């Protein structure tokens, strides 16, 4: 009887040890979560002039639709790692350096106005789509430009590192047109080129154009052309091959979408007065974005 009890104890001990090893293995952190745990901090990137997604307020504090979403992801990371006092650092990025800074570990999560494309997915990963845009152009009403084809022989601006000009050159109505491009370092600089009449149009995502126009000196001077070069999804950007962190990002966004919280965040930034001038963009949610909220996904644009 004693031998059986001893054997039972040994078996039970082995099972317990095996379970503990399995649990430890399941909890082993990798990728971004491991980095965050070891450093005690997470670095989130922001843009300086991507109104209303990610920009600086009058106190030089990062605010916006994407920043609010990123903060929800950070809260989820704090809960997952049981680190309520996790240090959160914000790092400004541009269209040109956002991918390199993510790849080299300077930033851990990019929430701005970045198109999720199949081409970019070769370098980075994206979380669930949180916005859908149309690429088009803003012009002055006095310019006589009513369609993209009217820009033949003229100069346009766009922001360095974006997909806009490449799309513009491939557009069937302008692919043979003689159009020159000037690149701004950010959206504010690109728009200023239009405001100062150095270019005839600013080619960019419709909602970003609306943000620049709404916060300009004379919003009534501008219009956005109705043509669309492409429809593109925005999503939070993170490093490739990092399933643990991506799971937190995706589940957080999906939860916001299914609970209705994402729609409230949208209303706050797109159909309500926003800083710094308390201008209302009056940019209702599109059917494409409603569909993305109903069926969360990270599909990239071709």
Residue 68 within a domain? yes
In a domain, 71, yes or no: yes
Last residue of a domain, one of 230, 248, 283: 230
- Which of 230, 253, 286 is a domain's end point? 230
Residue 10 lies in a domain: no
- Number of domains within the chain: 2
Is 24 a domain residue?
Answer: no
Q: How far apart are CA 105 and CA 243, in angstroms?
A: 16
Residue 164 to residue 153: CA distance in whole angstroms: 18
Evaluate whether 102 touches 237 at the Cβ level (below 8 Å): yes
pLDDT at 27: 67
CA dist 99 to 84, 107, 124, 271, Å? 28, 9, 7, 30
pTM of the model: 0.81
Nearest to 173 by CA among 135, 228, 121: 228
Same domain flag for 98 and 155: no
Q: Which residues span the domain enclosing 122?
A: 31-130+235-294
Domain boundary among 186, 206, 230: 230
Tell me, yes or no, whether 46 and 190 share the same domain. Answer: no
Q: Mean pLDDT in each 10-residue stretch from start to end of the chain (302 residues)?
A: 46 44 59 98 96 95 98 98 98 96 98 95 98 96 95 93 81 80 94 98 94 93 93 97 98 98 98 93 93 98 90
Spatial contact of 102 and 242, defined as CB atoms under 8 Å apart: no
């Amino acid at each position: 009887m004693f031998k059986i009890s001893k054997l039972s104890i040994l078996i039970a001990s082995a099972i317990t040890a095996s379970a503990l090893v399995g649990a430890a293995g399941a909890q082993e952190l990798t990728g971004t979560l491991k980095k965050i745990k070891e450093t005690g901090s997470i670095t989130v990137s922001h843009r300086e002039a991507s109104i209303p997604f990610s920009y600086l307020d009058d106190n030089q504090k990062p605010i916006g639709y994407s920043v609010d979403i990123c903060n929800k992801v950070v809260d989820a990371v704090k809960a997952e790692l049981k680190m309520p006092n996790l240090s959160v650092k914000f790092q400004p990025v541009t269209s040109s350096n956002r991918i390199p800074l993510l790849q080299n570990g300077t930033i851990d999560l990019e929430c701005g106005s970045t198109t999720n494309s199949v081409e970019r997915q070769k370098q980075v990963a994206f979380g669930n789509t949180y916005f859908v845009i149309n690429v088009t152009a803003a012009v002055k009403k006095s310019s006589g430009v009513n369609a993209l084809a009217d820009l033949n022989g003229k100069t346009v601006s766009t922001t360095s590192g974006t997909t806009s000009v490449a799309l513009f050159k491939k557009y069937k109505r302008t692919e043979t047109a003689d159009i020159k491009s000037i690149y701004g370092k950010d959206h504010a600089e690109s728009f200023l080129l239009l405001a100062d009449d150095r270019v005839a149009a600013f080619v960019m995502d419709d909602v970003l154009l609306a943000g620049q126009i709404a916060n300009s000196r004379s919003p009534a001077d501008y219009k956005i052309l109705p043509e669309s070069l492409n429809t593109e999804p925005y999503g939070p950007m993170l490093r490739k091959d990092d399933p643990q962190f991506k799971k937190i990002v995706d589940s957080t966004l999906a939860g916001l979408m299914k609970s209705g919280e994402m729609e409230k965040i949208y209303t706050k930034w797109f159909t309500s007065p926003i800083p710094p001038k308390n201008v209302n963009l009056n940019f209702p949610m599109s059917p494409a974005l409603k569909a993305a909220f109903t069926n969360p996904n990270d599909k990239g644009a071709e």
